[in-house]
Structure 1
Amino acid sequence: MSTNDERICVGSVAGAFGVRGEVRLKSFCAEPTDIAAYGPLYTKDGSRSFKVTLTRPVAAGLGARLSGVSSREEAEALRGVELFADRDRLPALPDDEFYHNDLIGLEVRDPGGVTIGKVLAVFNHGAGDLLEIRLEGKAQPLLLAFTLANVPTVDIARGLLIADLPEESA
């Protein structure tokens, strides 16, 4: 059995679909339909698990049945719930790709090797990944586009990444 640290968020429940307990899933997988192959999927706290059966494409997501969910009310109660898969069920990534979960908590250094902060979160609103970085000595976190130009080095094994921040944020 996996611990929560060995699970990766692969999607979330966007709401109910239909009247028989189907849900609308938002998949965070490169190939959206792969979400069904990584099951069982777990809630963030691991208290519930679901077998996922995809039913049909729906607007802005995938129609699916989750084991144990048989009514619209049960499906609607899961709205917003993130779904996690065991890391060992997911494919290995190429060297230049990372699971968001692996970036959170990394130490951030400037190109000269000076520690400047820590990665708090990773967001993707459709235009590419953004790193939320808590900069040392600054009250407001910085959002930095996760591009090769801005982040030339990511070293998961050493727990750090190198960020070349724009002059106005440094």
Structure 2
Amino acid sequence: MPASDAGEWVVLGRVSGIYGVRGMVKVFSFTEERDAILDYSPWYLGPARRPWVLEDGRMQGEGVVAKLEQVDDREQARALIGQEIAVLRAELPDPGAGEFYWSTLIGLRVLNREGVALGTVSAFLETGANDVMVVDDGKGGELLIPWSAEASAGVDLSVGRIIVDWQADW
């Protein structure tokens, strides 16, 4: 039986389309290296987290395509479009020192160096130049704070907070 606690799941991508006539799906991968999503099986799809065994997969152009067991035609593959691909957190390798999975940081409190509460982490954005931490200020707004090695040095998981060099009015 798969884990039931949402905190035990990490979403690695989503099914974005169909590929070919033999039931392959296109995958939009959230992993740093796009094809790293193929290192995990089973994939747990959709809100019910139904397990699907990964039979085969590869890079196809700039994207990833995959063949799941028991998905043998275009219509079966089409039914999976839009579903999130999750794995159990325990299946992920431990991050190195000073490294964090973004999903671990979602929900942490964010304070600046002066101790002013800025809000909670709601998401991260990959912009190409640098990553950005999205902080919900609790007042209907959000702050976009550059994420860097320096910012990650302020993470304290034991107390659930991140200290950043940032002002509330920036």
Q: Quick one: which amino acid aligns to residue 162 of structure 1?
A: I
Paired positions, count: 168
Q: Distance in 2 between matches of 1:151 and 1:93?
A: 13
2:124 aligns with 122
Q: Quick one: which amino acid aligns to residue 68 of structure 1?
A: Q
Structure 1 pair 99–151 and aligned structure 2 pair: CA distance change class (3 A) = closer
1:59 aligns with 61
- Taking only aligned residues, the RMSD between alpha carbons, in angstroms, comes to 2.2
2:158 aligns with 157
Aligned-residue offset at 1:119: 0.7
**What is the TM-score normalised by the length of structure 1?**
0.84
Q: Distance in 2 between matches of 1:57 and 1:98?
A: 26
Q: Is the counterpart of residue 87 in structure 1 residue 85 in structure 2?
A: no
Residue segments in structure 2 that go unaligned for 5+ positions in a row:
none
Structure 1 pair 126–68 and aligned structure 2 pair: CA distance change class (3 A) = farther
Q: Quick one: which amino acid aligns to residue 27 of structure 1?
A: S
Q: Distance in 2 between matches of 1:71 and 1:127?
A: 40
Q: Is the counterpart of residue 143 in structure 1 residue 144 in structure 2?
A: yes
CA contact 1:150–1:165 (8 Å) conserved in 2? no
Aligned-residue offset at 1:80: 2.7
Aligned-residue offset at 1:99: 1.3
1:16 aligns with 18
Residue segments in structure 1 that go unaligned for 5+ positions in a row:
none
Identity, % of aligned positions: 33
CA contact 1:54–1:62 (8 Å) conserved in 2? no
Q: Distance in 2 between matches of 1:7 and 1:167?
A: 32
